[in-house]
Amino acid sequence: MEKIKVGIAGLGRSGWNIHTFWLSQLPEFYQIVAVCDPIEKRRKEAEEKFKCKTYENFDEFVKNEEIELVIVATLSNLHREHTIKALKSGKNVVCEKPMAENLKDADAMIETAKQTGKLLTIFQNRRYEPDFLKVKEIVDSGILGKIVMIKMLQHTFGRRWDWQTLKKYGGGLLRNWGPHVIDQALQLFGDKEEPEIFCHLEKTLTLGDAEDHVKLILKGKFSPMIDIEITSCCCYPSENWLIMGTSGGLKGNSKKLIWKYFNPSDLPERKVEETPTSDRSYNREEIPWKEEKIWEMSNEDSKYPLNFYKDLFETIRNKKPLKITPESVRRVMWVIEKCYEIAGI
């Protein structure tokens, strides 16, 4: 089947280290035919590696009729502008996260995709992350009982001073790591209701003016409470996952998960007693835990970003349903905008 001809706008960390890297591993599906970046050294590097056309100017780049799919990996504050221009130029678009700076811009992008009839998806590749998929599988199975709390933690310690620390470029941890974690959280929260939101944002170690410490809680009547921490000022990091359920629990990180559970029917029947215990102790009983289970990431699992591009190829060439719709990512933008409203930013 004919390869999808790709143009990549932005050859920084994401455009070069992620998009060109993974697309290069799918030569039967994709061909990089053009790139756009203001830095000449980067353009020359791409030209040498991919034998592609190079552009300094985005408007000239999207005029290239050979391009079928544009990957927008430019600065976050340019995502709306570049996505809309690419769609209006007749290109399908993969936009890097964050989808946009705000909800209004996200809506404009979605509306343009509808008007032009072109495909728009957002690179929320961590929806394919193996540990997240395993967590969702376990939660959905019901073996942990009613899920009371899901803690999602991204802890690091260190200063940053690049463009992603500056508000004027759409920087800050809420827009940088936030879209990944919030997107996963919303999949676990479900779509029966919109969450109540608590959010605290703080600037701690960053040399920029945007937040580098995020505390976010999603709460609902019919959904589990989800407690999110994304911070650059934790020198004693916790694991990425901690789940509490009425019949079990789970903990772990992106490389290894462990969980245990029991069948509530295996517990003896009891009733509340108002009389003192005979030995003045607390009530205690042995829980008949099932043997602890372990999941570990394999080498094949670590290639999960390929699945995003494989599914996208099936959507473009074989008309399969789009896995990551812009409407689903709009919900991520809604949460981010609420957080900034709550924080008064």
Q: Per the omega criterion (within 30 degrees of 0), is the bond before 98 cis?
A: yes
Q: Is residue 57 part of a domain?
A: yes
Does one domain contain both 109 and 222? no
Q: Is residue 28 part of a domain?
A: yes
Per the DSSP assignment, residues forming a β-bridge with 260 are: 249
Looking at residue 292, its pLDDT comes to: 79
Does one domain contain both 314 and 291? no
pLDDT digits (tens, 9 = 90+) for 111-163: 999 999 999 999 999 999 999 999 999 999 999 999 999 999 999 999 999 99
CATH number at residue 140: 3.30.360.10
Q: Is residue 334 part of a domain?
A: no
Q: Is residue 106 part of a domain?
A: yes
Does one domain contain both 188 and 285? yes
Does one domain contain both 291 and 153? yes
Q: Is residue 343 part of a domain?
A: no
Total number of domains constituting the chain: 2
Q: In Å, what is the CA distance from 320 to each residue of 168, 295, 297, 316? A: 38, 30, 28, 7
Looking at residue 278, its pLDDT comes to: 85
Does one domain contain both 314 and 293? no
Q: Is residue 97 part of a domain?
A: yes
pTM here?
0.95
pLDDT digits (tens, 9 = 90+) for 34-56: 999 999 999 999 999 999 999 99
Looking at residue 1, its pLDDT comes to: 82
Looking at residue 91, its pLDDT comes to: 98
Does one domain contain both 87 and 133? no
Query: Does 279 have pLDDT greater than 90?
Result: no
Looking at residue 283, its pLDDT comes to: 85
Does one domain contain both 45 and 180? no
Q: Is residue 339 part of a domain?
A: no
Q: In Å, what is the CA distance from 4 to each residue of 7, 47, 229, 317? A: 10, 18, 38, 8
Looking at residue 284, its pLDDT comes to: 85
Q: Is residue 192 part of a domain?
A: yes
Does one domain contain both 276 and 159? yes
Does one domain contain both 182 and 272? yes
Phi, psi (degrees; rounded to nearest 5) at 83: -65, -45
CATH number at residue 52: 3.40.50.720
Does one domain contain both 113 and 18? yes
**The domain containing residue 118 runs over which residues?**
4-123+305-324
DSSP letter (8 states) at residue 140: H
Chain center to CA of 317 = 25
Does one domain contain both 33 and 147? no
**Cβ contact 229:217 at 8 Å:** no
Does one domain contain both 134 and 108? no
**Once rounded to an integer, what is the mean pLDDT over residues 307-324?**
97
**Once rounded to an integer, what is the mean pLDDT over residues 228-243?**
97
**Once rounded to an integer, what is the mean pLDDT over residues 207-218?**
98
